[in-house]
Amino acid sequence: MNFLQTVLAFVVCLGSLIVFHELGHYLVARWCGVKVLRFSVGMGKVVWSRRFGPDQTEWAVSALPLGGYVKMLDAREGDLSALPPQDLKREFTRQNVWKRIAIVAAGPLANFLIAIVLFAGLYMYGVEEPVSKISVRAGEAAALAAGAAAADQADAAPSAPSATPAWRAGLRSGDLVTAVNEQPVAVWSELRWNLMQSAIDKKEARLTVERPGQGRMHFALPADVLAALDLEGDVLGKLGLGVARPAPVVQQVLAGGPAERAGLRVDDLLLSVGGTPVADGIAFIDIIRASAGKTVEVVVRRAGQPLALAMTPQAEQAKSGKGTVTVGKISAYVALQPDMIVVPSSPLQAVGKAMTRVWDTCTMTLKMIGKMIVGEVSLKNVTGPITIADYAGQTARMGVVSYLSFIAFISISLGVMNLLPIPVLDGGHLLYYSLEVLTGRPVPERFNEIAQRVGIGLLMTLMLLAVFNDVARLL
């Protein structure tokens, strides 16, 4: 079932974005008076087609679903001498250079416009997100000594080299981040976004936080620490930051399970397992999962008093990225939901925020591409259709809001990639036309042919790299 949902989510996402991209080319071509011969979703052999409109444009579905195209009347693709004069006037290369630039640029601009519409709709609707309250991991060696309480963490910062960057900077669990580099943040995604930008720009991240009982405070994550981060995966986790979660209070105990047999009750506050302090429900689950079949001492606070319980997590088989593993379960539920907030925006605010989000995403994407070219960021970040399909399925299962946000992000990525100055892409054609504007004459046909071959070779190389990375992630 998950596989079918993933495939459907991928097809809907990529298919709709391809259609909107090509509609951009089509509508502007018609507006500029160019005759459109075919509108195709997909590449290669046409498997279905119908003709519509005064020009009898062929609307087609082609065999390869990764792409699409708009075929216009073009003298470079055949002899048009037999056509009547009224049709020759509508031939693509006979249009002035500014019309050709508008037609080519319309596809990527359509992708950006769709992203703005989607983000604006989500901002007006109001998206429920975790607030920007953080939990801070002390370090691999220092975590046990740090304890679970934020007060203890504030008093005893570890000096060990294993202390995380966030801990060394002075941040502590329970801090509410209100600004990064003087940019206000209210939710976790805004905090992550601003820290990612600082990491890409290799700049210091100055954080303003509200600490319970101490008021407003200021801390900084150094530029050299952020510059050294591997931007693949959980970047904030590598800094020692996580979403703050509630105290690990037992919410439900299932009948007949290990938790009930050990005497665990609803509203018990979990303090430690096997001597290891428990900071939140996630930490408790991790310890229990790793203790399959082992008897551990679980210390709880009940009615204000500590109580030790002997508990043996039941061993069960579970699937993971590495296959089937044995995990421990106790048949109890612990509080996990972080503090959430819904921030709806007015239509004007939503459009402004959406445009800013699209612009920031474009600039961040270009910076990442630049860093990959100079070797500062791993080529493992190049992803292909398999990874996109996987994320499409995951976000679809998470809900409509997550899925629409994913579609908006992919739309921006498609727009940026198509604007890269690579022959055969829209950006390559825009480069040719820009040179024509500067020189007053078209790019020589021979140069165009050579550039096309180079562009196809480069695209094939990128596609092979993307597919290789996709397969490597699966394995």
| Residue-range domains of the chain with CATH | 1-23+105-125+375-475 (no CATH), 33-94 (no CATH), 134-243 (2.30.42.10), 250-334 (2.30.42.10)
Task: Please compute Rg for the chain using Cα positions.
Answer: 28
Residue 64 pLDDT: 83
Residues tagged active-site: 22
150 contacts 126 by C-beta, under 8 angstroms = no
Residue 2 pLDDT: 78
Residue 378 pLDDT: 80
Residue 147 pLDDT: 37
Instruction: Provide the greatest CA pair distance for the chain.
Output: 95
Residue 447 pLDDT: 85
Residue 161 pLDDT: 53
In the structure encoding, which two tokens stand for residue 15, read together?
């298919």
Q: What is the DSSP string of 76-130?
A: GGS--TTS-HHHHTT-GGGS-HHHHHHHHHHHHHHHHHHHHHHHHHHHHH--EEE
The whole-number mean pLDDT for each consecutive block of 10 residues of the chain, a chain of 475 residues, reads 84 92 95 94 91 91 86 86 85 93 96 97 88 84 36 44 86 94 91 91 94 94 90 84 92 94 95 89 90 94 94 86 81 90 88 93 90 82 86 89 93 94 91 92 85 87 87 78
Residue 181's region, left for phi above 0, alpha for psi from -120 to 50, else beta, is left
Residue 320 pLDDT: 65
pTM of the complete model: 0.73
- Residues 367/370/371/373 CA torsion (nearest 10 deg): 160
Q: Which of 388, 382, 413 is nearest to 403 (CA)?
A: 388
> How far is residue 291 from each of residues 127, 306, 396, measured CA to CA in Å?
37, 22, 33
Residue 304 pLDDT: 92
Integer Cα distance of 434 and 304 in angstroms: 74
Integer Cα distance of 347 and 354 in angstroms: 10
CB atoms within 10 A of CB 55: 14
